Structure 1
Amino acid sequence: MMTTNGLVVLLLLSGSVLVCNLQPQGAITRFHHVSLMKTWTEAQSYCREKFIDLATIPSQAANTVAQKVAGHGHVWIGLYNGSWRWSQEGKPVENWFLSNVKHNVGSRRCAVLDTYGKWMARDCDVPDRFVCSTLDNRHVLVERYMSWWDGQTYCRKNHVDLSSVVTTADRESIVKQLRLVGMLSGNDAWIGLYRGEWAWSDGKKLIYKPLESLPHWGSDCMVMDQSTGTWRSQPCQDRLSFLCYSVVKPSAVSLVKIRLVGGSADLTDPMVQESILLQLRKQLVDGGIQAEVKLRWRKHPDGEVFHREETSPSADQQEDSCRAV
C-alpha cells in the first residue's frame, strides 16, 4: 500500500475515477445584452431575476468584452449615483422632503436648506454655515463657515450630528433661525442630507472608468455607448436596453487510475464503491485541495468498474498509475 498525491494506491484490482474540478482557475464573468426597453430600476430587477445583476465593469479588459456584447446605441450598466441619506444614521429620508428640492441636483452631493424651506445640492467643499441637532432634539444654527464635512465633524464633537429634517417642525425650526440672521449673513445653511458615492448595483465600489468618459455626470444612472465603449450618465427613467452579468464556474475533468487489494468486500456493490469515493474525497481535503471537486467511477464497456489484474505491478508502475491520463 502506498500514498501518491493524496490518493491511496493498493494492488491487484484496477479501476478509474473521473475527477471533476469545478473551479480550477477561478470563476468567469459573462455579459448578456437584453434588448428589452426598460428604466434603469426595471433593468436592475430583470437582471437580478434572470442572471446576477446589472453589469459590473471593473477593468478595461472587462469593458472591452462588454462593449462587444452591448448591441447598438446606449445600454444601461450597473453604475448609479448613491442614494440620498442623513448623516445621522437611522433617520428616514422622507419623500415629501426630497420633493422640496429647489434646483436640479446634478452631480453635487451635499444639501443646504434655505429660508423658504427648500433644499438644494451644493459641492460639499464650499464653506457655509450649518445646523446641528442636539441631545434634546433641538436644531442649532452655527455661525461658522465650514465645508459640509467639517460641519459634520463639529456637530458630532459638540452636539449630536448635522441636522436631519424629517418633520415639518424640524424644517420650521431651522427656517425661523435662518430668517432671523438671513439679512446679514445669507439665507441658507448645511443640513445633514448627503448622497453616497457612485457605486455598482451589486454593491462593488467604483474603481475603474474609461478615460474618455464624461468627467461631469449630471444624472444618476450610467449607460455605455456601444460604439466607443465610453460611459455617460442618463436620467434613470429613460427606457433603454441593458447589460446583465452572470458568473460561470469552468470545469476540468481528469481520469485517475487506482488499484485496490481484493478482500472480503464486494467491489461490485454500489455502496462499497461509494464508500471508497468518500475515503478518496477525505484524502483530497486532508491533502490540502481546496477547489470544489466531484468524484465518480468510470465504467468499462462491460459495465464493470473494477477489473482483476493477473500480475502485481512494480513500484514504478504503482507510482505511475495515479497520474491523470
Structure 2
Amino acid sequence: MAQSLYSSLLLIALCSISECVQRQYHFINEQKNWTEAQRYCREKYTDLATTDNMNDMIQLNKSVNDERVWIGLKMTHDNNWHWSSGDPVLFLNWASGQPYSKDNCAVMRNGQWVVGPCSNTSFFICYNMSRGLVFVSQLMNWRDAQSYCRQNHIDLVSVRNQNENQQLEKFINDRNSSGSAVWIGLFRDTWQWSDQSNSSFRYWKPDLPVNQYYEDCVGVERYTQGHWDEYLCSSPFTFVCYEDKLIVIQQNLSWSEALRYCRQNHVDLVSVQSVEMQRHVMNVVKLASTEAVWLGLHNYCSMNMWLWLSGDMVCYQNWAPGNGSTPENCKLENRKGAVQSGGDQTWISLPESHRLNFICRNY
C-alpha cells in the first residue's frame, strides 16, 4: 500500500514539471526595415520572431530594449482559418452553405458552425486545463471573449474532431436553454509568420488589426504591454530574431544512430512532454522527408512502460490508435517512438532498426 502511494505521488511530481520555452529570442539593436530584419535573422539565427502563446510573448518582451520592434508577422493575400489556441485546423463542421460571407469569426449553433462578424456579441466557451469546458453566459464580441478566456482560463475552445464536436454540442445544449449561437475559437485572417509557422496566436492592440494593405507588417510596442500594431514594412525599427531549439535532421538513421548523432552534434533527441512542445514539433516536422520522424521515446520492457530519454515518464500522450502499449515481443524488436510527419502528426511505435529522419534539440 505504501509503495503504491509512493509511486502515485512520484508520478504526480514528475508530471508536474514545467517545460522550458522552445525558442531563444534575441533583441537586435539595429534599425532595419522588415525585409532587411528578416534577412538578418535568417542569416544569423533562425528567423524573425514567431510566438505561439503568452508565455512566448513574456519571454520575447523580456529580451526587448526598445519601444517598438519588428516581429515576423506579415500580411498575405491568403485568408486562412485558425484556432485561437494554436491547435492545427484538422476538422471543419460548417452548416450547409457556410462560410458564405467574408466575416472572420465562427459560432456554434445546433452542433454546426456558422461564420459571423467578430463584432457581434454572443455567449462563448472557454477551455480550462483542470475544469475542461467552461460556458460563459456573458455577451461579448469575439476578441473580448478571447481575452476573457486567456485571462481566466486558457483560451477559447478548439474542436479537433467529430467526437469533440458532439461533446461540445451536448455541453452547450445542457447549459444554453435559449439555443443561441456561442463563440468558439475559430477565426481567419490574412497574416502569416516569416518562418511559415502554423501559429495562430495573435496579441493585437484593441480595435486592431485594421488590415490596411499599406500597413502590412507587425511590430511589438512595449508601452502597450507588448501588444501588436500594424506598420509600413519600410519603417526602420529594431527587431527580435529567434533561434529554434529544435532541428529536423534529414538523414535516414536507425533510432540508436539518430541518438548518437544528436548527442554528438546537438544535445539529444527531442522529448515531447506537453501540448506546447507537440506544437513546436508539428511546426518543424513538416520539413522531414520520411513519413515518420524519431523522437527520444523508448520502451522500457521490464517496467512495461514508455519513457523519454531524460528518464521522465510519458505524462502528456499523443499516440495514434493502436500504439502506446508495450508489445509482447518488445525485447526482440527494441521498439522506439516516432511522430508521423503527415496527417495529425500523432506518435507511433516502430522497431528501432527502421531508418527515419529525426528531431534533435539544441537546449
TM-score, normalization by structure 1: 0.35
